[in-house]
């Protein structure tokens, strides 16, 4: 199975770069499954049903979120009715929506998608290790599901790595989100799980993690906050993680960052043919 995970979409710039490139990437790479983290897609804070619909139309199969999931109140009813849009698994019982869902590929295979949130430097949620253990035990890889992808939304790379190691051999992909900075540690762990501490963001990198830099700098330099953070609107970079899995075991066989457009150095999996030129 060929899987693509797109890191945090930030504002219109992030939405536009994903909506532009995702259809062509699905076709060019022959992608079987695409997950997008969209918790910052609505002007940097939260997401809406309209945004989710546009991402699904462009080729996303599932959407994950994080600590900004509830910033747009309209998403509550949408997420409760749509199991392909996930909120963190380890929110308290009774929270709307789901933190894990089995989603079908276009050819009928089953993919477990899990969205879990860290606690170090984050909100004090339920234990992510217990929550992740439980859901992986319920959906054995290669048995009840053909692949499993876990989005770990968190600040500390140490906590993300620890969660990845308890999932090693039990999931196809463990990928981090939230810091908006792509890490250089993409690898297949010893048990066969592809891991990257953070996929980075889809947004304008001439910014402070996707937000307009002048406002962000001013907020660091003064406690007198006069203006709300807003997303940077320059040319955006698409940051993603590409993974191929074994059809029998569901484990990863190879992985690589994939970076297109904007300010960051382009990255294309070196085990694939060079990217063909596209119009525009």
Reading the block at residue 89, the tokens are 């698994």
CA–CA separation, 61 and 36 (whole Å): 8
**Average pLDDT of the segment spanning 264-270:** 96
Please count the other Cβ atoms lying within 10 Å of the Cβ belonging to residue 16: 17
Range scoring the smallest mean pLDDT among 166-170, 180-184, 219-223: 219-223
For residue 62, list its beta bridge partners.
35
The reported pLDDT for the residue numbered 133 is 97
Which of 45, 2, 80, 6 minimizes the C-alpha distance to 258? 6
- The tokens describing 46, both together, are 């939260």
Single out the residue of 148, 118, 122 nearest to residue 135, CA to CA: 148
How far is 230 from 84, CA to CA, in rounded Å?
27
Mean pLDDT over 21-44 rounds to 98
Inform me whether the pLDDT recorded for 276 exceeds 80: no
* Residues forming beta bridges with residue 102, ordered by sequence position: 112
Residue 279 reports pLDDT greater than 50: no
Share the mean pLDDT of the chain. 96
pLDDT score recorded for residue 280: 43
Helix, strand, coil percentages, rounded to 5, for the chain: 25, 30, 50
More confident residue, 277 or 254: 254
**pLDDT at position 227, please?**
83
Residue (of 59, 62, 65, 34) closest to 47 by Cα position: 65
Domain ranges of the chain: 2-260
DSSP state of 55: H
- Contact in structure between 127 and 90 (CB atoms under 8 Å): yes
**pLDDT tens, 109-124?**
999 999 999 999 999 9
Out of 21, 43, 68, 139, pick the active-site residue.
68
State the Cα–Cα distance between residues 51 and 270, nearest whole angstrom. 32
Catalytic: 68?
yes
Domain 2-260 in CATH 2.40.50.140? The answer is: no
Largest CA-CA distance found in the chain, in angstroms, rounded: 57
Q: What is the mean pLDDT of residues 69-88?
A: 96
Q: What pLDDT score does 278 carry?
A: 55
Helix residue spans in 127-262 (DSSP H): 128-138, 157-167, 213-221
Q: Which value, in Å, is the radius of gyration of the alpha carbons in the chain?
A: 18
111-158: per-residue pLDDT in tens?
A: 999 999 999 999 999 999 999 999 999 999 999 999 999 999 999 999
Report the pLDDT averaged over residues 217-236: 88
pLDDT score for 237: 98
Q: Which of 250, 215, 196, 249 is nearest to 11 (CA)?
A: 215
């Amino acid at each position: 199975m060929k899987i693509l995970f797109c890191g945090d979409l930030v504002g219109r710039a992030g939405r536009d770069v994903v909506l532009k490139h995702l259809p062509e990437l699905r076709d060019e790479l022959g992608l079987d499954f695409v997950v997008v983290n969209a918790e910052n897609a609505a002007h940097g804070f939260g997401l809406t049903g309209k945004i989710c619909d546009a991402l699904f139309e462009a080729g996303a199969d599932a959407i994950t979120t994080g600590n900004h999931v509830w910033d747009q109140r309209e998403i509550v009813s949408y997420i409760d009715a749509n199991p392909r849009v996930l909120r963190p698994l380890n929110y308290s019982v009774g929270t709307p929506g789901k933190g894990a869902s089995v989603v079908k590929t276009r050819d009928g295979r089953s993919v477990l998608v899990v969205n879990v949130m860290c606690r170090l430097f984050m909100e004090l949620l339920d234990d992510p290790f217990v929550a992740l253990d439980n859901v992986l035990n319920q959906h054995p890889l290669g048995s009840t599901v053909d692949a499993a992808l876990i989005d770990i939304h968190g600040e500390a790379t140490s906590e993300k790595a620890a969660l990845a190691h308890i999932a090693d051999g039990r999931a196809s992909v463990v990928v981090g989100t939230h810091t908006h900075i792509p890490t250089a540690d993409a690898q297949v762990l010893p048990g066969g799980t592809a891991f990257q501490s953070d996929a980075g963001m889809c947004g304008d990198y001439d910014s402070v993690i996707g937000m307009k830099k002048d406002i962000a700098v001013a907020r660091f330099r003064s406690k007198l906050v006069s203006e709300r953070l807003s997303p940077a609107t320059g040319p955006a970079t698409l940051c993603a993680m590409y993974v191929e899995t074994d059809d029998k075991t569901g484990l990863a066989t190879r992985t690589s960052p994939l970076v297109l457009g904007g300010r960051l150095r382009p990255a294309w999996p070196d085990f694939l043919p060079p990217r063909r030129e596209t119009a525009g």
